Amino acid sequence: MKRFTVRLCLFIAFASVFYVVTILIFGTFMPASLAKNFDNFGSLGFTRKRMSEAEKVKGVDVIVVGSSHAYRGYDPRIFKKEGLTVFNLGSSSQSPLQTKYLVDKYVKNLKPKLVIVDIYPILFGVDGLESQIDLISSGLMDEDIVKMSFEINDIRLYNSLIFGAFNNAFHLKKQKKNDTKGDTYISGGYVQSYERFKPKKVRFTQKITISALQLGAFKKTLAALKSKNIKYIIVQAPFSKSNYNSYTNNDEIDRLFAGLGEYYNFNKAMNLPDSMYYDDSHLNQLGVNVYNAKLIDTLKKNGVFNVVTGSKLKDSAKAYQASYQK
């Protein structure tokens, strides 16, 4: 029995080393078509660049969290014209699990007076795998990331953890310089694009499902902000009508989030043409100009910016009316 136990331990040790080495070789040298989890290591949605900048910023008026709707939908330059400093912590497919992690990690340094929690409700039904891989591949590696990875529990995530840890230490994978065609990173975490939506995709009706795990993480984030006396609002940025109308339970979703805090659904407050979208889910710069003006005016009228002391806000609606006409 003793001899068997020794051989078993040796085998496990050998297999573990072999597995790790295989992951490192696979992630470093395999073409993107065969190693999709390692293709966008650090470049998807400029997450690495955004988080690197977030490490250096000390103190802003507003932070935005959420999915690509966040980092493509809230332009710090527009808010700056209103006297507000904004940092955008959005990341690709960011689910409430990752939102909680990012708020916990960065609120201490960013010290926001207001947090805009942008929601894309369909992401309340996902497992959070895609966003987790994005954060890991962007160099974020700490105890909380590892704990959250075990909570999601997917072999692709463990592979990313192994490769990410070695990549952070030895820079195995050369970082891509460019992201999606037409994208430009703007300081403050925003991604600008003037690409225009070309409707092709036929969307079938579907129902948004809400995961208890994701909703629980979302509530914990709101509770954490409240405990720190940081005001938050929940916002659903507009996306194309063909996409929005494909969901059959939008009213039910509105009731859910309205019960969790001050909530704004701009899909019902605005009716933007397809020319103001990058694709059927994201605004382009023309759309962002109009949406941000509408958002700022709405929040001003409702006194949301009162928490940002010292800011002298202006009427922004007219300033961006020209963009709407394009």
At 27-46, the pLDDT tens digits run 777 766 666 666 556 567 89
Q: Is it the case that residue 292 has pLDDT exceeding 50?
A: yes
For residue 15, what pLDDT band results from cuts at 50, 70 and 90? confident
Query: Sorting pLDDT into bands at 50, 70 and 90, what band is 314?
Result: low
pLDDT grade, residue 294 (50/70/90)?
A: very high
Q: Tell me the one-letter amino acid at 176.
A: K
Q: What does each C-alpha distance from 92 to 100, 102, 166 come to in angstroms?
A: 15, 13, 23
Contact status, residue 156 vs residue 16, Cβ threshold 8 Å: no
Q: How many CA atoms lie within 13 A of 74 on its CB side?
A: 31
Q: Looking at the predicted structure, is the pLDDT value of residue 288 above 60?
A: yes
Please determine, for residue 143, whether its predicted confidence score (pLDDT) is greater than 50: yes
Residues 152, 154, 158, 159: is their CA dihedral positive or negative?
negative
Cβ density class 219-238: b for 16+ within 10 Å, e for less: ebbbeebeeeebbbbbbbbb
- Give the residue among 54, 53, 60, 106 at the shortest CA–CA distance from 80: 60
Alpha-carbon distance 281 to 277, whole Å? 7
Could you count the other beta carbons within 10 Å of the beta carbon of residue 314?
12
Mean pLDDT confidence for 15-35: 74
| pLDDT reported for residue 36 | 65
